[in-house]
Amino acid sequence: MKKLDMYPPPNWTEVIILWDDIFNNHLPIRKILDWVDITPGGLYCLTGVDNGFLFNFKNPTDATFFKLKWI
């Protein structure tokens, strides 16, 4: 997928990975970031938020694929 370095339009699909999930479920955030960059797909944005990482995907199918893989 290709990272867009600006805030996404409001109609993109949001997926959040919470800090609690990262620490309690041992989600490998570095592997997640590497995976999303090399996986075929559309545009995404990444924003750090108080409670974790917010991914926004232009294509809802990319968001579903991401959730199935990591959440």
Annotated domain spans of the chain = 2-70
Q: Give me the residue label for tokens 């620490």.
A: 23
- Predicted TM-score (pTM) of this structure: 0.91
Angle at 58 between CA 26 and CA 64, to 5 degrees: 45
Contact 55, 16 (CB under 8 A): yes
Task: Give 69's DSSP letter.
Answer: H
Query: Is the CB of residue 53 less than 8 Å from the CB of residue 16?
Result: yes
Average pLDDT, consecutive stretches of 10 residues, N- to C-terminus, the chain (71 residues): 90 95 89 95 95 96 95 83
